[in-house]
Amino acid sequence: MSATLTGRITEIQRFCIHDGPGIRTTVFLKGCPLRCVWCHNPETQRAAPQLAFTAAACIGCGACVPACAQGAQRLAGGTRVLDRPACTACGACATACPAGALELVGRPVTVAEVIAAVERDRPFYLQSGGGLTLSGGEPLAQADFATALLAAARAAGLHTCVETCSQVDPAVIDRVIPLVDLFLCDLKETDPERHRAWTGVGNQRILANLRRLHAAGAHMRLRCPLIPGLNDREDHVAGIAALARELPGIEGVEVMPFHRLGEGKRARFGLGDGPAAGIQAADPAAVRAWKERLAALGVPLLAA
């Protein structure tokens, strides 16, 4: 595929150490088929660009007001007000903002631009065994762009990881298997009805794709978020253990304790309080107990 193929990302994050082996550059693609109530990257859910506003950075200069052709920006009593329904996310106000309080998130980039950014840290990959990780959102939702990125990275001799919820067309899974060194597969809930309640979709396709990856001999890790009051149940722990036994070729399971960082992001994007607003961060003692129970059931655990 062409190096000029364009996709949409939220950011390119360098020097990551939790998105696969070694030091990595993680590219966050926009768009996701799930709506997890605990999502910590809510800005990646929608495929379209979104305007972010950081109130603490606003200096009240009003430069955004004349820049907005839709009249979505105004000053009221010296306070900047955004009419989000009128906003078309054109980005003109963000360009005009001298303080960086406004930011258009979801920029178009080419394959060549991403690979050039990733290549900047090649010495760190060589020393640590790191490389490129595609994340999101769901990176495989932009199937052509993700495939082209992975192919370009593979051609450049870079180690590749994909963090995926696996709620994608099986044909996409088949396309990328030869291009991915490691799949980081999110397993959010083993009960199908609870999975639908927490994420908006059932888990049938997800489980089928996990089995598909395993049957193809793909290198895989399961990443299991621990959400207090939702999936911190004995039957879910048992479900994880049962799946791990069914997929003996996986490298292991990572427990991912819930944190509340997504709430600040929701405020920046005008999303209001999310359904996870009342959920507390995972208690370290509870996380240890969860891991101990998984280990007792024979689940190979990996450090998150």
pLDDT at 141: 98
User: Which sign, positive or negative, has the C-alpha torsion 12, 14, 18, 22?
Assistant: positive
pLDDT at 275: 67
- Residue 110 bridge partners (DSSP): 6
pLDDT at 264: 73
| Cα–Cα distance for residue pair 135/127, rounded to 1 Å | 23
| Cα–Cα distance for residue pair 147/205, rounded to 1 Å | 20
Helices (H) and strands (E) in the chain, counts: 11, 13
Whether 136 contacts 31, CB under 8 Å: yes
Q: pLDDT per position in the chain (304 positions), as tens?
A: 588 899 999 999 999 999 999 999 999 999 999 999 889 899 999 999 999 999 889 998 899 999 999 999 988 877 888 899 999 999 999 999 999 999 999 999 999 999 999 999 999 999 999 999 999 999 999 999 999 999 999 999 999 999 999 999 999 999 999 999 999 999 999 999 999 999 999 999 999 999 999 999 999 999 999 999 999 999 999 999 999 999 999 999 999 998 777 677 888 888 877 666 678 888 899 899 999 999 999 999 998 6
Identify the structural domains of the chain with CATH numbers, from first to last. Answer: 6-47+106-302 (3.20.20.70), 52-103 (3.30.70.20)
Q: Which pTM value belongs to this model?
A: 0.92
